[in-house]
Amino acid sequence: MRRPWPSPYTPAVPPPAATVVVSDAHLGQVPETVRDRFHRFLQAVPEIGDHLLINGDLFDFWFEYRSVIPRAYFKTLVAISRLRERGVRVTLTGGNHDRWGSTFWNNELGAEFVRGSTRTELAGWKAWVGHGDGLAELTSSSRITHAVCSHPITARLFRLLHPDLGIGLARRFSRFTCARRDRPEAVARAAEAQAGYARRLLAEQPDLDLIVMGHTHKAALESVSPHRWYLNPGAWMDGCKYAVITREGPELAAFG
């Protein structure tokens, strides 16, 4: 019988009313030491907040097949399941490396999966949340790649491949695309383009308090106006960075 969610487990000490935001862990590409530190971070989350928002690219590649899951991510999925059992709400937004999620997250882990962007409330603030890919791409190749990979037909065709073949091809493609992160000038331009998008969105939607993105791997916390912010927690894979949103507002942090 499928376990009911939310979990009936109630922590002895309720977690603080805060949202913990992490992005771009790229598990599967990073060394095992980085993965293991991420698992220790998950264990510590209940001491920091009552809601974990994983804002894209948790895995270097994720595709939700009907009957199998990638075995390399088993320990991470178990760690997320244990976090849910401790009463922490978990939300995942799909990034450009793991947008192909579906019902697995809710049915098997009790976590909410958001394929694209969403409007929600984080620690009392009205927020727009999205990984950030496809919103402020600077090159035609990036725009084409995003359009092709996000198209439903691409997912249907990919599903026809055997998982060993499909995951292998995706990892090779990932290594090729990730090489662009080694160019600081390109990262800086992408980060500024993303910040500009966030400023415009806040200007166009005055009811929003907070824009949360990832993708650029460059941490940012910009106060656009009083009590209105653009937040990017940075990349977990680059220094174990994350952010915390409380009733007082967002702040950047790093896991020691």
Per-residue pLDDT of the chain (256 residues; tens, 9 = 90+): 333 344 444 455 556 799 999 999 999 889 999 999 999 999 999 999 999 999 999 998 888 887 888 888 999 999 999 999 999 999 999 888 887 878 889 899 999 999 889 999 999 999 999 998 877 665 655 666 656 666 677 777 777 778 777 777 767 766 655 555 567 787 888 899 999 999 999 999 999 999 999 999 999 999 999 999 999 999 999 999 999 999 999 999 999 8
Report the predicted TM-score, pTM, of the whole model to 2 decimal places.
0.84
Report CA-CA distances (Å) from 169 to 28, 163, 164, 204.
Answer: 14, 10, 9, 40
Using CA atoms, how far apart are residues 211 and 213, in angstroms rounded to an integer? 7
Using CA atoms, how far apart are residues 247 and 256, in angstroms rounded to an integer? 24
The pLDDT value given to residue 147: 63
Using CA atoms, how far apart are residues 202 and 188, in angstroms rounded to an integer? 21
Across-strand partners of 90? Answer: 52
CA atoms in the 13 A half-sphere facing the CB of 41? 25
Instruction: Estimate the share of the chain in helix, then strand, then coil, as percent rounded to the nearest 5.
Output: 40, 20, 40
Report CA-CA distances (Å) from 33 to 48, 83, 125.
Answer: 22, 20, 34
The pLDDT value given to residue 5: 43
Using CA atoms, how far apart are residues 154 and 122, in angstroms rounded to an integer? 33
Whether residue 87 contacts residue 50, with contact meaning beta carbons closer than 8 Å, is answered with yes
The pLDDT value given to residue 4: 39
CB atoms closer than 10 angstroms to residue 106 = 13
Which CATH architecture is the domain 19-254 placed in? 4-Layer Sandwich (3.60)
What is the distance between the terminal CA atoms of the chain, rounded to a whole angstrom? Answer: 39
User: What distance lies between CA 244 and its chain's CA centroid?
Assistant: 14
Whether residue 12 contacts residue 5, with contact meaning beta carbons closer than 8 Å, is answered with no
Using CA atoms, how far apart are residues 94 and 55, in angstroms rounded to an integer? 7
